[in-house]
Amino acid sequence: MKNIIKVEWIRFKLDEILKNKNITQYRLAKEVGFSQPNLNKLIREWGNMNLSTLIKISDFLNITIDEMIDDYKIIKSKPLK
């Protein structure tokens, strides 16, 4: 269950970053050397994405890999009420 939440959060965060930078998933896919369907599959199966792909994505978006997951770590560390 924790992995599902983490993957969903990272997908949400990546979508948010793309929206803020006015970049489509299609453009991201082309810039990192994937077809859009293959990139979508990688994003859905985030845990299977290799480090070189993460680096390509973060380099193109001009962000760190940690920025993609940072908000998730904050939410995860807060105790539930």
pLDDT greater at residue 44 or residue 3: 44
Spell out the domain ranges in the chain. Answer: 2-77
Tell me the C-alpha distance between 32 and 28, whole Å: 6
Q: What is the CATH number of domain 2-77?
A: 1.10.260.40
pLDDT in tens, 48-61: 677 888 889 999 99
Return contacts of 7-16, CB within 8 angstroms, 24+ apart. Answer: 7/44, 7/45, 7/46, 7/47, 9/69, 9/71, 9/72, 9/75, 10/43, 10/46, 10/68, 10/69, 10/72, 11/43, 11/44, 11/46, 13/68, 13/69, 13/71, 13/72, 14/43, 14/57, 14/68
Q: What is the average per-residue pLDDT within 56-70?
A: 85
pTM: 0.70
Residue 36 vs residue 9, higher pLDDT:
36
